[in-house]
Amino acid sequence: MKTLTALAFIASTGAAFAGGASYDVSGSTVGKSENKYMPLGETHVFVDLKSMYTLPQSGSPLDGMTGECLGSMQIALGSGASGMGVCIWSDADGDAWFGPWNVTGMTPDRASVGTWYVSGGTGKFANATGGGTFTTATNPETGESKLDVLGSVVVN
């Protein structure tokens, strides 16, 4: 049975940033999730989420960041899903940007969908902003998690 994880966004780093530059972080990546599934009766499942991702190389100055996404969601069979959490994206220098994600529903094939935004950062990402949408699904047997993201990160 294919179940979902909810996470938020993609990005990566390496090169110096131009002030106020906007970087498209739209794309797909596959990561690993360590989720705990807790049935709540016959129609609900609570999921404690923990996923790790690395953005694939795309030629962006954000290439190479790793992301850890934590949170929780509730799946109500027949009526969708809701949840929230945070992702922290770090570069090789130890600088990071972070922000919350929210699950707003599910696709017919049981992937979670939602929104994300950047709420802060450290070092070169101290004044980062941005956001977008995501779709994600995890195979509970293998822990493989696919994350599709639309959006951008602005580095000031």
The reported pLDDT for the residue numbered 150 is: 92
Position 3 in a domain: no
> How far is residue 71's CA from residue 63's CA, in Å, rounded to a whole number?
24
Domain count, the chain: 1
Residue 58's pLDDT band, with cuts at 50, 70 and 90, is low
Closest-CA residue to 139 (of 8, 11, 37): 37
Q: What is the pLDDT of residues 128-139, one digit of tens each?
A: 999 999 999 999
Are the CB atoms for 9 and 26 separated by under 8 Å? no
Position 12 in a domain: no
When pLDDT is averaged across residues 13-39 and rounded to a whole number, the result is 79
When pLDDT is averaged across residues 104-127 and rounded to a whole number, the result is 93
When pLDDT is averaged across residues 36-43 and rounded to a whole number, the result is 93
Q: What is the CATH number of the domain that holds 125?
A: 2.40.350.10
| Chain centroid to CA 41 | 28
Position 9 in a domain: no
The pTM of this model reads 0.83
Question: Residue 145: which domain range?
Answer: 21-155
Please classify residue 40 by burial: count the beta carbons closer than 10 Å to its beta carbon, then call 0-12 exposed, 13-18 middle and 19+ buried. Answer: exposed
Position 1 in a domain: no
